[in-house]
Structure 1
Amino acid sequence: MASTGLQLLGLVLAVLGWVFGALVCAAPLWRVSAFVGGELVIAQVVWEGLWMNCLSQSTGQIQCKSYDSTLALPKSAQAARGLTVLSLLLCLLALMLGVTGAKCTHCMGDANQASKSRMARVAGLLFVVAGLAYLIPICWTAHAVIRDFYDPTVAAPFKRELGPALYLGWGASLLLLVGGSLLHVGSSPPGARALPVFGRAAKDNPHTGAAGEVKPQEKSFV
């Protein structure tokens, strides 16, 4: 039987993961300047994201600029853009299916519980797929940052550190995975009631009862 508590908990966690994921996608804090060596000007901090980069001055002034061309970006940045946008769109579709298929809603009527449960399970799977799709560019970017940081051939001004958006992205992916799993588990089919059906069938068929229940019937006819 579908569990309303698990469904609601899964939806809440998945929606939180979706909101955090949208913030991470728009934030220019994926990669931050690494202050190593004496060649960097500490008065300036460079922030890099998927859609823009920003330059923060020591005076508090921040200048941001969007990337001029998408095709001029590296292949990894283009793939990260596509995966994050795809993940957010999957979350939107999963949210509509999850709200429609939740047991506490009346979008499809109370008599059609089997279809509602099936729709909620599909929504849970979509949230899980969205979480995996969002996790790929986060881990990919983190691996590239760490690799370039420890690469001696990369000049110090071009070294970067992990930005706070990556940590928030890991949390968003975890919320999507856990929320989708809870929504899927909490939306079991309502027809899985083997024991009550068997007991009702035993009462309707007197020949399937025990021998002690048949003997009184034979004596009554005698």
Structure 2
Amino acid sequence: MSTGIQLLGFLMCLLGWLLSFMSLLNDSWKSSTFADQLITSVWYDQNLWQSCAEGSTGVRNCKQFESMLSLSGYIQACRALMIIALVLGLLSVILATMGLKCTKLGSTSEESKGKISLTAGVMFILSGVCVMVAVSWYAARVVQEFNDPFYGGQKYELGVGLYLGWAAGSLAILGGGILCTSFKSSAPQTRAQSYNYSASQPQKIYKSAPSENTLSKAYV
């Protein structure tokens, strides 16, 4: 695989990791809508860490969740998955930088670079899967609560943070796949070549020496 394609996979993974970080920090994982009102006076946003309210005057107030243990189980799981994804992504960026063909670190061989690139690609894929699971799980709960006619709480719709997460997960998985396919073993490939020695060399005819009986008969 060429260096340009490998570099493209690395840039896709790097962009996916940055979008994962932006998705985690985004305030709007779910937002409230007022489709039945002509004038919206208050907007409500919520993410994994806090809930915010913004009035028509532009004043925005946010309140962090006080206790992690009092949160729903899926929010705690989404937090853990996003943090794991960011840690894996950071380690993968470091490894992928070492495994690029255009970088030189000491006397690292092509075989070692290929293995490092393969490891980084697998880690990027795992990071993307963690992000996809987190945002998809959160989105499923938002849709479930919105469509539930017996849900008594405030209903929300999908926010910008979820779309950032889906984009981040897709880029990380695709870029990781490119890095995985860039692994090539540099071990020498020996081809079995058979040579017909008798056909390639001129044949020599050896005559046996005459025996003593043959010589004696010749003199008689």
**Is TM more than 0.5 here?**
yes
**Cα 1:160/1:221, change in 2 over 3 Å:** farther
CA deviations 1:154-204 (Å, max 9, x no partner) are 23x61100001111111110000000000110122222x64xx31xx63xx
**1:99 partner SS:** helix
- Cα distance in 2 for partners of 1:121, 1:101 equals 8
TM-score, structure 2 normalization: 0.86
Assess, with a 3 A threshold, how the Cα gap between structure 1 residues 31 and 221 changes in structure 2: closer, same or farther: farther
Q: Name the amino acid aligned to 2:166.
A: W
Matched, 1:118 2:115: yes
Q: Secondary structure at the match of 1:133?
A: helix
* SS of the residue 1:65 aligns to: strand
Partners of 2:129 and 2:205 lie apart in 1 by 69
Task: Return 5+ residue gaps in structure 2 as ranges.
Answer: 207-220
Change in 2 beyond 3 A, CA 1:215/1:81: same
Number of equivalent positions: 206
Q: Which has the larger radius of gyration?
A: 2
Matches within 5 A, 1:203-214: 208-209=194-195, 211=196, 214=198
Structure 1 range deviating more: 68-77 or 141-150: 68-77
Distance (whole Å) between structure 1 residues aligned to residue 154 and residue 6 of structure 2: 46
Root mean square deviation of aligned Cα: 2.2
1:127 maps to which residue?
Answer: 124
> Aligned partners of 2:91, 2:62: CA distance in 1, in Å?
32
| Aligned pairs (5 A) from 1:152-171 | 152-155=149-152, 158-171=154-167
**Higher helix content, 1 or 2:** 1
Counterpart for residue 106 of structure 1: 104
Deviation per residue, 1:97-148 (Å, 9 max, x gap) = 11112211112425x2211211110100000011001111100111111111
What is the letter of the counterpart of residue 82 of structure 2? T
Which consecutive unaligned segments of at least 5 residues does structure 1 have?
A: 203-207
TM-score of the superposed pair, with normalisation by structure 1: 0.85
Shift of 1:214: 4.3
